[in-house]
Amino acid sequence: MEFSDAISELESGGAPLEAVERLLLANPQEEKELFSLADETRERHVGKSTCVHGVLEFSNFCKNSCLYCGIRKESPVKRYRMQPDEIVENVAWAAKELGYKMVVLQSGEDRHYTGETLCELAREIKKRCNIILFFSIGDRTQEEYASLKKAGADGVLYRFETSSSELFEKMRPGTSFGTRMAHLSFFHELKYLVATGFIIGLPHQSSKQLAQDILSLGKLKANMISIGPFLPSPLTPLASQKSPSLPLALRALAICRLLYKKVRMPVTTAFETLDPAGRQKAIFAGANSLMVNITPRKYSQCYSIYPNRFGEREEIEKLTREAIEFVQGIGRRVCRGYAKDLRPQFSAPACAE
Ligand code: 5AD
């Protein structure tokens, strides 16, 4: 298939597997065109607004043994749990002092925090801060997620990791792909904003599977796309495996923008960790927000899902300032002024300024 035919197929609203696969294989010249088309699409459909989101990792305890993840239960990392008060204080500080409008509370799958504790956390944060609050806490019951929604949570970040059920269950022993998919559908029923995605270049992932991963985002009606390259962690059975190249990861991102024109798509930390130019390149290949790690520095180095995560040792204030300056420096606008009703702004063409 010709590159230009593959582009036309995507632009005409179709999403054939063959065209996505072809674009994933774009040569350096075609790739330039792909990135600039993605950037134009971003400009036309979501404009210059670029949000800087915060992620606070409140516990690295995990009951799972995902082959790719450095905080899997067998990993010898130093474990920590933040107290609810400490979590609230840190989010409130990020919102009030640093201007964060959207924060993701993330952890390993840690049952130490009961459903009720999480609800209290959500209530307290929403009482004190005018932010969009996401949870990224893995599998919980539908009842727990329903209560959390009632307590004020706005969204869930829950990646499907791979759209191949076989690869999923191989990479995540003891977990089920069916459960993953069921969660993603009940999140929508519960009216959560749904952020989902996959790992680009997971070992044993074929390019056809990667194309299927990209197309799954549409079927799952993602409000936000969270994808990033695989980075081998020395603490895992996949230690000797390779990362994908930055260009392949960028091609996946750019294809997502061509397919899902209005979606929110952050540059995830894995892009920034894979290559120092990752942020710059991703933001010009279709991405329209940044994620800053706002975990207190005494903990962030223990949340080692992969090594040397971008920014894990730098001061949060400095990282935030740099992210804002970066956004302004490339002529985009940092999102400001979320008012009372945050939800429409989030899924609308661009967030309010
Ligand atoms: N490389 C890249 N991404 C990873 N994640 C976990 N381990 C790795 C790794 N080694 C991603 C998973 C998870 C998210 C929190 O981090 O997709 O959902």
Whole-Å CA distances, 2 to 8, 27, 162, 247: 10, 12, 27, 19
**Of 271 and 348, more confident:** 271
pLDDT at 79: 98
- Ligand 1 pocket, residue 227 CB under 6 Å: no
Q: Does residue 68 have its Cβ closer than 6 Å to ligand 1?
A: yes
Atom of ligand 1 nearest to the CA of 158: 18
Question: 346 falls in which pLDDT band (50, 70, 90)?
Answer: very low
Mean pLDDT, the chain, integer:
93
pLDDT over 70 (residue 99): yes
Distance CA 177, CA 230 (A): 19
Q: What is the pTM of this model?
A: 0.94
Q: Whose CA is nearest to atom 3 of ligand 1?
A: 230
pLDDT tens track for 22-34:
999 999 999 999 9
Task: Reply yes or no on whether the pLDDT at 353 is more than 80.
Answer: no
- Ligand 1 centroid to residue 9 C-alpha, Å: 31
Tens-digit pLDDT profile for residues 221-258 = 999 999 999 999 999 999 999 999 999 999 999 999 99
Ligand 1 centroid – CA 249 distance (Å): 14
Ligand 1 contacts CB of residue 199 (under 6 A): yes
d(CA 305, CA 298): 16
The rounded Cα 330 to chain-centroid distance in angstroms is 22
Cα 140 to ligand 1 centre (Å): 19
Ligand 1 pocket residue status of 306, Cβ below 6 Å: yes
Minimal-distance CA residue to ligand 1 atom 8 = 69
pLDDT at 336 over 80: no
Mean predicted confidence (pLDDT) in 158-170: 98
The atom of ligand 1 lying closest to the CA of 136 is 15
Residue 161 Cβ contacting ligand 1 at under 6 Å = yes
Nearest CA to ligand 1 atom 18: 159
What is the model's pLDDT at position 240?
98
* Ligand 1 centroid to residue 232 C-alpha, Å: 10
> Does 105 have pLDDT greater than 80?
yes
For the segment 8-34, the average pLDDT, to the nearest whole number, is: 92
Q: Which atom of ligand 1 is nearest to the CA of 68?
A: 10
More confident residue, 288 or 353: 288
Mutate which of 68, 109, 271 for ligand 1? The one with the most ligand atoms within 8 Å of its CB, which is 68
Does the C-beta of 233 come closer than 6 Å to ligand 1? yes
pLDDT value, residue 11:
82
At residue 15 the predicted structure's pLDDT band, cuts being 50, 70 and 90, is low
pLDDT for 335 equals: 80
Q: Is 200 in the pocket of ligand 1 (CB under 6 A)?
A: no
Under the banding of pLDDT at 50, 70 and 90, the label for residue 295 is very high
Closest CA to 290 of 51, 23, 14: 51
pLDDT at 41 over 50: yes
Q: Identify the burial level of 94 via C-beta atoms within 10 angstroms of its C-beta, where 0-12 means exposed, 13-18 middle and 19 or more buried.
A: buried
Q: Which atom in ligand 1 lies closest to the alpha carbon of residue 157?
A: 18
Instruction: Give me the pLDDT at residue 338, please.
Output: 45
pLDDT of residue 317 exceeding 90, the answer is: yes
Task: Say if ligand 1 is within 6 A of residue 214 CB.
Answer: no
Share of the chain above pLDDT 90, in %: 88
Could you read off the pLDDT of 276-289 as tens digits, one per residue? 999 999 999 999 99
Of all residues in the chain, the percent with pLDDT exceeding 70 is 94
Quick: pLDDT tens for 108-134.
Answer: 999 999 999 999 999 999 999 989 999
**Per-residue pLDDT, 337:** 46
Q: Is the pLDDT of residue 167 over 90?
A: yes
Instruction: For 234, list phi and psi in degrees, rounded to 5.
Output: -65, -15
The atom of ligand 1 lying closest to the CA of 233 is: 10
C-alpha 64 – ligand 1 centre gap (Å): 13
Task: Name the residue at shortest CA distance from atom 16 of ligand 1.
Answer: 305
66 class by beta-carbon count within 10 Å (0-12 exposed, 13-18 middle, 19+ buried): buried
| Average pLDDT score over residue span 74-79 | 97
Number of C-beta neighbours around residue 329 at 10 A? 10
Instruction: Indicate the pLDDT class of residue 13, thresholds 50, 70 and 90.
Output: confident
Q: What is the DSSP string of 144-191?
A: HHHHHHHTT--EEE---B-S-HHHHHHHSTT--HHHHHHHHHHHHHTT
Task: Report the distance separating Cα 9 and Cα 19, nearest Å.
Answer: 7
For range 265-277, the mean pLDDT? 96
How far is 55 from 198, CA to CA, in rounded Å? 18
- Is 225 touching ligand 1 by the criterion CB < 6 Å? no
- Cβ-contact 153, 192 below 8 angstroms: yes
Quick one: average pLDDT of 8-30? 91
For ligand 1, is residue 231 a contact (CB within 6 Å)?
yes
Residue 342 has pLDDT above 60, yes or no: no
